[in-house]
Structure 1
Amino acid sequence: MNPTATTEGARDSAGPARAEDLAAALLTQEARRDPYPFYARMRREDPVHRSAQGIWYLTRYSDVEAALGDLRLSNDRDRMTRAYTALGGDLKALSRLTDRLGRVMSNTDPPDHARLRKLANRAFTARRVESLRDRVQGIVDGLIDEAVAAGPTMDLVEAVASPLPMAVVCELFGIPDEDLPQVKTWFRRFGRLSEDIDASEAAIEQYEEYLARLVRRRRADPGDDLISALVATQAKDDRLTDSELLSTCFVLITAGDETTTHLVGNGMLALLRHPAQLARLRADPALARPAVEELARYDTPTQAIVRVVAEDLTIGGRTLREGELAYLFLAATNRDPERFHDPDRLDLTRPGNRPLSFGNGPHFCLGGPLAKLQAEVAVGTLVRRLPHLRLTDEAALDWRPNPLQRRLTALPVIY
């Protein structure tokens, strides 16, 4: 039986016994395998929940949608650091890394955020994203060709979902193919931040130096790539400093990597667990675009995002105080029965589908359209080219222990 296909009414026994245990329960092995029963209980019993550590957990669609657009909930780096420090966290090492990145869109509030976002939007256009479709298709076909040549089984995450976004972002930013192995190495070191912060910081320093060289080259010899577009934008608006330009490049290149990987991985797992929906997509390839929206709703890669309260506000009858942290659980909102009919059912033709998978408001994910394009092409092509694709071992599936991200460690399949 599919562990994520039960109804909310049948889930009462799956969650913790007391409301005060709800936040802690999200760190358990059971929640790691399937967090959605815990989200369901939290929505019913305490949708604006304050954990024992004093962190707020928001799980209703209406609350989170409003919170994402409320400037009293801040994404400012300095406020965030103070809030974590107040909870007893030692952020000295992590602060070294955030200081290196400067003040970029992802850790600023208006008016700085609006200025940086506007500048990036000029370069990161919908037309530019769509122009990559043929190139994305070629990359996906090449990855599938390699996997098929290697044998009848593969780890779909390692073979397709993981290398795809790296190859696409290098294309978008004009990173030469010969530099791709080194860029991948730096990205792997970023991913081990919690294990070896010194190695991560060294990788960031080397990566920044590499990006600075690319920027200098594009100033001297512009091309049809995103770094050239950002350099041209800076030339027209001198408010974009060299440091902001480098930080913007860093964030735009880095941010979509894992989100795209796990959108493809989680999405393919959902389809393989729902053969009727898989057959529906195979019979109608035009469903690929709405299918990605539904797959992102059903098993959301970014489970939650964090904000810090900049000014006292009331949500759901609870008062959040200045300096407190709030976790906005996008994945919980995407299964809210007040917003989605029969939310635990995968439905590739779901009407009026508007999940919060990529956020909302001023910090709506800039790379969301590119992630969706890659997932649309990857999922559609895998379904079309591998008609006998199936899981090899459901019991072996595991997810990384990060309650803010829904990330399969591997997806073993046979085709």
Structure 2
Amino acid sequence: MNLTETTGEARDRAGLARSDDLAAALLTPEARRDPYPFYARMRRESPVHRSNQGIWYLTRYADIEAALSDLRLSSDRDRMTRAYSALGGDLKAFSRLTDRLGRVMSNTDPPDHARLRKLANRAFTARRVEALRDRIQRIVDRLIDEAVAAGPTMDLIEAVASPLPMSVVCELFGIPPEDLPQVKTWFHRFGRLSEDIDKSEAAIEQYEEYLARLVRRRRADPGDDLISALVATQAQDDRLTDSELLSTCFVLITAGDETTTHLVGNGMLALLRHPDQLARLRADPALVRTAVEELARYDTPTQAIVRVAAEDIAIGGRTLQQGELAYLFLAATNRDPERFEDPDRLDLTRPGNRHLSFGNGPHFCLGGPLAKLQAEVAVGTLVRRLPHLRLADGAVLDWRPNPLQRRLTALPLTY
């Protein structure tokens, strides 16, 4: 859950949800069930589209790939606030939440972004992520054991996909097991920040106080965890202030929560709807790594991210004016026939799968490798251990009403 995701619903109310008929189409029940035909029409008819309110919609792979690396498209929170203010929306929730969260990697531009990213990269290494594989396997096995013991059906989101990233992040950051219930309560609130701004602010404040206590403990008694690594990084480079250290911990801890949950949920649903591909994975478990890449492409948890033009910029033959907002539909790029052969087909062995599900360029998702590792273990274990897994009889699927995110409310399964 990066800052874009954290405050996405508050910003929707200020912009996308009221922009014009194209935005309205995104909010229909049909688009919630399957937004991909809408994206296809946008790519054909208006791939760089300006709404009546001046919001840009980008849906073509080539345009968005370039845009993600173009520093003229800004993530800066102050620019973003001014851009939404120009739309005349109510930004109290957005402004209060961004002020509370502070300046972090996901809402800054260079040079601050590069400095914060470099320092986090030194702590959040590929070696540290891969070292979690065995612990992730134990967590997944425990969650599946508990689900199977509870009965012949389960909600995969509640039973496995949601508790998995929270348990993993507690391991990674050295959060004591006895604190898990309180951390779970905070995570639940962070997934619904815009519903009650006062409760959300209170939860963030409590969580920051908790993290501050953990940081003080790690300074006095460091361990083999990510907070200790960040504390050590700060000691080596005092440009990382205490406030930035806390904000970095906050973002890193929450970054993979919702994304991981719905990568597993969306991915398992796609496999169950494509029994030939499920059988292929079951017959060859070694496919799981490329399978997760394809599942991330096929039904992307983060459908779109938001940028604001820091200066005039030409994209796809159109000119975005300084201060205008751009919605970059990552999910649309992942089904672009100019980039992917037969893009609406699920193919677990798809070659050259350079999807943009985790972004690209300087803001490429730092937690992407951890999210994919968790999905590899979860999907691979579910396929191996539950060979008769299928959608529960009479299951009704519902998606959360946020066009920037692709998230099931539940996934009822039987085995």
Q: Which residue of 1 aligns with 2:346?
A: 346
Corresponding residue SS for 2:179: helix
Matches within 5 A, 1:18-37: 21-37=21-37
Q: Is the 8 A contact 1:94 1:197 kept in 2?
A: no
Q: Is the 8 A contact 2:395 2:412 kept in 1?
A: no
Percent identity, aligned pairs only, is 91
The gaps in structure 1 that reach 5 residues or longer are 1-19
2:160 is aligned with 1:168: no
Matches within 5 A, 1:1-400: 21-393=21-393, 396-400=396-400
> 2:302, 2:393 → 1: CA distance?
25
> 1:196, 1:92 → 2: CA distance?
12
Corresponding residue SS for 1:314: strand
Corresponding residue SS for 1:340: coil
Using the TM superposition, give the Cα deviation of residue 286 of structure 1 relative to its aligned residue in structure 2, in angstroms.
0.4
Q: Is the 8 A contact 2:93 2:194 kept in 1?
A: no
After superposition, the C-alpha distances for 1:174-213 in whole angstroms (9 at most, x for unaligned) are 0001101001101112222221010000000000000000
> 2:381, 2:93 → 1: CA distance?
43
Corresponding residue SS for 1:396: coil
After superposition, the C-alpha distances for 1:85-111 in whole angstroms (9 at most, x for unaligned) are 110112123312211221110100001
Corresponding residue SS for 1:327: strand
Aligned-CA RMSD value: 0.9
After superposition, the C-alpha distances for 1:303-351 in whole angstroms (9 at most, x for unaligned) are 0000000010111111100000000000000000000000000000001
Using the TM superposition, give the Cα deviation of residue 123 of structure 1 relative to its aligned residue in structure 2, in angstroms.
0.3
Q: Is the 8 A contact 2:155 2:413 kept in 1?
A: yes
> 2:270, 2:53 → 1: CA distance?
34
> 1:21, 1:247 → 2: CA distance?
38
After superposition, the C-alpha distances for 1:220-260 in whole angstroms (9 at most, x for unaligned) are 00000000000000000000000000000000001210000
Corresponding residue SS for 2:256: helix
Q: Is the 8 A contact 1:23 1:57 kept in 2?
A: no
Moved over 3 A (4+): none
Corresponding residue SS for 1:259: helix
Corresponding residue SS for 1:306: strand
Instruction: State the AA in 1 paired with 2:183.
Output: V
Instruction: State the AA in 2 paired with 1:385.
Output: R
How many aligned positions are there? 396
Instruction: State the AA in 2 paired with 1:68.
Output: L
TM-score normalised to structure 1 length: 0.94
Q: Is the 8 A contact 2:104 2:116 kept in 1?
A: yes
Q: Which residue of 1 aligns with 2:17?
A: none
Q: Which residue of 2 aligns with 1:13?
A: none
> 2:335, 2:127 → 1: CA distance?
32
> 1:55, 1:234 → 2: CA distance?
39
> 1:396, 1:314 → 2: CA distance?
44
> 1:63, 1:246 → 2: CA distance?
35
> 2:197, 2:43 → 1: CA distance?
36
Instruction: State the AA in 2 paired with 1:346.
Output: L
Instruction: State the AA in 2 paired with 1:249.
Output: C
Q: Is the 8 A contact 1:65 1:360 kept in 2?
A: yes
TM-score normalised to structure 2 length: 0.94
Moved more, 48-57 or 220-229: 48-57
Corresponding residue SS for 2:157: helix
After superposition, the C-alpha distances for 1:367-397 in whole angstroms (9 at most, x for unaligned) are 0000000000000000000000000147600
